Chains A and B, each alone.
Chain A
Amino acid sequence: MPLSLLIAIILIIGVVGYVLGRRRAMASAGGDSRGLHSLPVYYGSNVLLSVLVPAFAFIIIALIVIPLYIDTHVSAMITEADIGEGSSLGLVMAEVRRVAEGLDNAVAMGAISDEMARNAGANASDMAQRLRDAGQVITGEVTGNILAAAQEYRATSKILHVGMIVMALVIALGGFAFGYRRTEKDFRARNVVERVILAILIAAASVAILTTIGIILSLIFNTIEFFRIYPFTEFFFGLNWSPSFSGRGGSSELGFVPLLWGTLYISFIALSVAVPIGLFAAVYLSEYASPRVRSVAKPALEVLAGIPTIVYGLFALLTIGPMLTTVFGRDGLGWMGGASSVMTAGLVMGIMLIPFVSSLSDDIINAVPQAMRDGSLGLGATKSETIKQVILPAALPGIVGAILLAASRAIGETMIVVMGAGAAARLSLNPFEAMTTVTAKIVSQLTGDSDFSSPEALVAFALGMSLFVITLGMNILALHIVQKYREQYD
């Protein structure tokens, strides 16, 4: 039975429970809903939730636990001999799963019978050939042991799957009986239902937090792994970034400084574009624009924020880069080697950040009470004096927060850098030279061919961790500033 059918059956049980629960509650109060503790709808919902929550919780847990159990159970069958040179248990297990899946598909297609698939004495190479003939992807060599493991894998997973379905249905029916029997007119159904809803809300909130923790943990473990094989000081203070991709390692220099420098330099240029333009746009929109202009211009500006960064990357590569080259390149001032440069990426990234700065600042400037403007205008200040001396200082904390958020975006940006700034890690002050950033290097280190346990690949996690700490720090600082000064007026 497929999972979707199981879920549908449980839902049907739940809906039936809702109707019956509601009816039973009404009956227990003699048909008058005022005799009930809660509204009739809560009695129905109580039965519905008693069916759905435990059953679905069980299914979720089962779906996580069953594959884990099967893996450990089956991998015990794999011997040292099955794991060839340069291979690992993980690879062999992947092969086992592939064969098991191939058997399933072949049976489903009718290429082999179910008995044949389960036959413990089957010849491994013969079976592999049959599977290949049936169009199944079998990559490695199938030994007898692997075939046996695959057959065991199939058998266990089938038993457990059926067991899970039966168990889930039993739990759903049990929940139904439990909820239905509790239903009578003095049962505090509303309180129970609201408590369950609260629990669901809490669970939803914790998913986001748990995911963050999971991300940090996965970064931390790999980062620790990296620092075990690569010295801490050389990473943080090394001035050279030249990973060797030969796979033998040893000759790689993995210095963080040139990448950090590239990141900060590009972000700096991006912010020097975005902050003035964004702020001026915000002042215009909030103080000078008529409501009609504002209602058109603000969404138009925010459209910029919706453009995928890869499109900005194309813009950098095809438009801004060549434009800068004609002025600063070999035919012009001669400062620029190719179209890729810090300036190219910085300018485009700045354009991308304008709506972040302008939209947030606009909201913040609008939040400054009208009384401040009236007070200043009433003293004979002009509009521009009012903006410069009263509105902007009052909005400053929020604006700083907005700028810091934009800065975190700039630091984390990848695509524009890959396409606009080049890939060479370099410590240079010339903004027309190609440089690269931490994020771009994370991509190139992990998408390369290098072994996952080599320092060249693991360094990506150390880079990611450093970046995470930097942007986290900036976000905390931004939140702190915004919060600390939020209620200064009023």
Chain B
Amino acid sequence: MYDTPKSGVDVDAREVKISARGVQVFYGDTHAIKDVDVEIQDKMVTAFIGPSGCGKSTFLRCLNRMNDTIDICRVEGNINLDGENIYDAKVDPVQLRAKVGMVFQKPNPFPKSIYDNIAYGPRIHGLAKNKADLDEIVEKSLRRGAIWDEVKDRLHAPGTGLSGGQQQRLCIARAVATEPEVLLMDEPCSALDPIATAQVEELIDELRGNYSVVIVTHSMQQAARVSQKTAFFHLGNLVEFGETGQIFTNPEDPRTESYITGRIG
């Protein structure tokens, strides 16, 4: 019923990119994430699945400290990126977010031209020395975002004028343009139709070659199609974490089995 993980990747041989130990998240008095341990490996797609409100998006937003922008949110525990704790006082969340890019649930292109949308990050981080350099980054990013052919003739048209699927790929290209090491995707296909979803999924599979990708999704089929490892969250707990094929065919925890067979959710 589910696709097998793509091309038999050797899951355990890869180095750990992000390791989270004992992560707790509180929104005011609400305990949203309870003691989560996860290891995310490099050049691989990790999927977070679970019912609505289980904390998977909250946990994802911890990985690039986006939760810092919410006043009442408090994070405890250790999250290491390449062995360095990202919640350490000397880490600048702004620098961190340049390394850990993010794509959101709803496509959110800036009300600027397609070119300026992509060039926004590189300009801020000073990645381009001159105009030609920037042009090159924009083209490369749009190609990586698998949208170059559709927009190359109208780079200076507003990004908001694209279709939903194009906008989301533009946002992925925008995130890629800052050369992140990890790409976080928060339900990137939930606002898209099946064709656009297929395009984005294909893109995620290509991105795996260069980045470590973490994707939150409501669709178990999608998790099965694009990811190599899957984490199942339920009520703020990490219930089960393992190889995608394992989780979907032979889950260890009864809650995981109930969820993937549709009994809880």
> Residues of A with Cβ closer than 8 Å to B?
290, 369, 371-382, 385, 389-390, 393-394, 488-489
Q: Given the complex, which residues of A lie within 8 Å of B104, measured CB to CB? A: 371, 374-375, 378
Q: Please determine whether B69 and A373 come into contact, CB atoms closer than 8 angstroms.
A: yes
Q: Bound complex: CA of A380 vs CA of B98, how far in Å?
A: 4
29 A–B contacts, CB within 8 A, in A order: A372-B110, A372-B111, A373-B69, A374-B102, A374-B108, A375-B104, A375-B110, A375-B171, A376-B110, A376-B120, A377-B69, A378-B66, A378-B101, A379-B98, A379-B178, A380-B96, A380-B101, A380-B124, A381-B94, A385-B124, A389-B120, A390-B120, A394-B110, A394-B111, A488-B158, A488-B160, A489-B110, A489-B111, A489-B160
Which residue on chain B has the smallest CB distance to residue A385?
B124
Which residue on chain B has the smallest CB distance to residue A485?
B111
Q: Bound complex: CA of A28 vs CA of B121, how far in Å?
A: 76
B140 on the A face (CB < 8 A): no
Which residue on chain A has the smallest CB distance to residue B122?
A379
Q: Bound complex: CA of A382 vs CA of B93, how far in Å?
A: 9
Apart from A381-B124, A489-B111, list 20 A-B contacts with CB within 8 A: A374-B69, A374-B102, A375-B108, A375-B174, A377-B69, A378-B104, A379-B101, A379-B102, A379-B178, A380-B96, A380-B101, A381-B121, A385-B124, A390-B110, A390-B120, A393-B110, A394-B110, A394-B111, A488-B111, A488-B158
Q: Given the complex, which residues of A lie within 8 Å of B64, measured CB to CB? A: 378
From 102 to 131 in chain B, residues with beta carbon under 8 angstroms from any chain A beta carbon are: 102-104, 106, 108-112, 120-121, 124-125
CB distance from A301 to the nearest CB of B (A): 22
Q: Bound complex: CA of A376 vs CA of B116, how far in Å?
A: 12
Q: Please determine whether A379 and B108 come into contact, CB atoms closer than 8 angstroms.
A: no
B74 on the A face (CB < 8 A): no
> Residues of B with Cβ closer than 8 Å to A?
64, 66, 69, 71, 94-99, 101-104, 106, 108-112, 120-121, 124-125, 158, 160, 171, 174-175, 178
Known contacts A393-B112, A488-B111; A377/B98 CB under 8 A: no
Q: Please determine whether A379 and B120 come into contact, CB atoms closer than 8 angstroms.
A: yes
Q: Given the complex, which residues of B lie within 8 Å of A376, measured CB to CB? A: 110, 120
Q: Is the interface of A mostly helix, strand, loop or mixed?
A: helix
CB distance from B69 to the nearest CB of A (A): 6
Which residue on chain B has the smallest CB distance to residue A375?
B108
CB distance from B81 to the nearest CB of A (A): 14
Q: Given the complex, which residues of B lie within 8 Å of A371, measured CB to CB? A: 104, 106, 108
Q: Bound complex: CA of A369 vs CA of B106, how far in Å?
A: 11
Q: Given the complex, which residues of A lie within 8 Å of B103, measured CB to CB? A: 378
Q: Given the complex, which residues of B lie within 8 Å of A393, measured CB to CB? A: 110-112
Q: Given the complex, which residues of B lie within 8 Å of A379, measured CB to CB? A: 97-98, 101-102, 120-121, 124, 174-175, 178
Q: Given the complex, which residues of B lie within 8 Å of A489, measured CB to CB? A: 110-111, 160
